[in-house]
């Protein structure tokens, strides 16, 4: 009697009638196992198929900007430029989206009346419903050209900042990291906002009322109670956004113009991110060794996003522990 008890459950005794319980329990456990195993398989399969190509690679995988996988006998591929473009565009996106998301989340949770906040929040969520290929389309055809004067202005006046110096593609049309980063920032805005909104809303009412009762203005109340309370959630949400930006594929693929020379570490570069490089070559995945080069790039992206997401989780978990 009185054996260990699971969840909100009576313990299942293993005599005939409880077979239904056993079967159902196994089904649910099995499903969880599918998820756990598939993550492991993703890493494993990418690794297995990347290794032969990495062995056949004739240049340094991490430091070379070159990417030539056409000749199976002479594979030359390195991810330096992919890394640079991916990181630059994602960080630009994050730099724009983070303050905006914080402002929006505070606006929705602590300034608007609840009645209005709902439809307003819905508007932001609508952004998440727009598929990435449409963002790419709009970025390449509408926003890019519209941003061209801004890019030209920054390039002419701030060229001494390396990030705004001449890139490896022409400014015309806006097919550069600058445009891509801005589009990415719009795409990751909803997730950062949604997470921040959730934590800001959970600020204990007692703390808020305490601050207000001391004669704090609304902003002072936010600064002293809401922001400290929601900080880790906000950071975690931003990390999730960063993860999205790092892995975004088709929008970047459509927007960025391919470059003939290697990256100059400027916002006005073109080129490929990990994801867009893989997608661009997808129709030609036939030769295992050259496909393996792209799979190696995918593996790096996977590890990268895994790390960012795990970090987000860690930050969020610590915040939760502190709050309770």
**Please, which of residues 159-198 interact with other proteins by CB under 8 A?**
186, 189, 193
For residue 321, state whether it binds other proteins (rule: CB under 8 A): no
Classify 141 as helix, strand or coil.
Answer: helix
Q: Where are the alpha helices (DSSP H) in the chain?
A: 19-56, 80-106, 114-129, 132-138, 144-157, 177-201, 205-213, 218-221, 227-247, 250-255, 274-281, 288-323
The Cα–Cα gap between 147 and 153 comes to: 10
Sign of the Cα pseudo-torsion (251, 253, 256, 262, in order): positive
Q: Of 57-65, 87-95, 169-177, 304-312, which segment contacts other proteins by CB under 8 A?
A: 304-312
Nearer to other proteins, 243 or 270 (CB): 243
Enter the tokens of residue 58.
């004739």
Encoded one letter per residue, x for contact with other proteins by CB under 8 A and - for no contact, window 81-110 reads ------------------xxxxxx-xxx--
Please report, as residue ranges, which positions from 217 to 246 form the binding site for other proteins (by CB under 8 A).
Answer: 217-220, 222, 240, 243-244, 246
Residues that contact other proteins, how many (by CB under 8 A): 103
Kindly state the smallest distance separating residue 124's Cβ from other proteins, in Å: 6
For tokens 């598929």, what's the residue?
Answer: 131
For residue 254, state whether it binds other proteins (rule: CB under 8 A): yes
Kindly state the smallest distance separating residue 204's Cβ from other proteins, in Å: 21
Do 116 and 110 meet the contact criterion of CB atoms below 8 Å apart? no
Nearer to other proteins, 162 or 317 (CB): 317
Q: Of 53-61, 64-72, 195-203, 270-278, which segment contacts other proteins by CB under 8 A?
A: 270-278
Q: Which of 21, 64, 87, 210 binds other proteins (CB under 8 A)?
A: 21
Closest CA relative to residue 235, chosen from 316, 146, 171, 143: 316
* DSSP 8-state class, residue 8: T
Kindly state the smallest distance separating residue 64's Cβ from other proteins, in Å: 21
């Amino acid at each position: 009697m009185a054996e260990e008890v699971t969840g909100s459950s009576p313990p299942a005794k293993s005599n005939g009638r409880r077979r239904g319980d056993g079967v159902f329990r196994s089904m649910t456990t099995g499903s969880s196992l599918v998820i756990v195993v598939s993550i492991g398989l993703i890493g494993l399969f990418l690794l297995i198929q990347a290794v032969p190509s990495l062995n056949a690679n004739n240049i340094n995988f991490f430091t070379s900007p070159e990417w030539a996988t056409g000749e199976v006998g002479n594979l030359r591929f390195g991810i330096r430029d992919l890394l640079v473009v991916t990181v630059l565009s994602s960080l630009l996106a994050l730099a724009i989206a983070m303050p905006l998301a914080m402002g929006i989340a505070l606006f929705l949770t602590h300034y608007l009346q609840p009645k209005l906040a709902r439809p307003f929040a819905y508007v932001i969520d609508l952004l998440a419903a727009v598929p990435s290929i449409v963002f790419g389309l709009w970025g390449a055809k509408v926003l890019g050209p519209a941003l061209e004067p801004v890019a030209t202005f920054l390039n002419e006046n701030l060229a001494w900042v390396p990030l705004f110096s001449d890139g490896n593609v022409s400014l015309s049309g806006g097919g550069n990291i600058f445009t891509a980063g801005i589009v990415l920032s719009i795409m990751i805005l909803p997730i950062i906002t949604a997470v921040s909104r959730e934590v800001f809303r959970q600020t204990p009412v007692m703390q808020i009322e305490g601050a207000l009762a001391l004669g704090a203005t609304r902003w002072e109340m936010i600064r002293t109670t809401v922001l400290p309370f929601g900080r880790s959630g906000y950071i975690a949400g931003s990390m999730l956004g960063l993860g999205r930006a790092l892995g975004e594929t088709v929008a970047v693929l459509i927007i960025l113009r391919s470059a003939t020379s290697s990256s100059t570490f400027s916002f006005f570069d073109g080129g490929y991110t990990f994801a867009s490089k893989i997608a661009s070559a997808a129709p030609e995945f036939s030769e295992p060794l050259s496909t393996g080069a792209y799979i190696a790039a995918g593996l790096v992206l996977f590890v990268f996003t895994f790390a960012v997401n795990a970090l987000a989780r860690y930050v969020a978990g610590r915040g939760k522990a502190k709050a309770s």
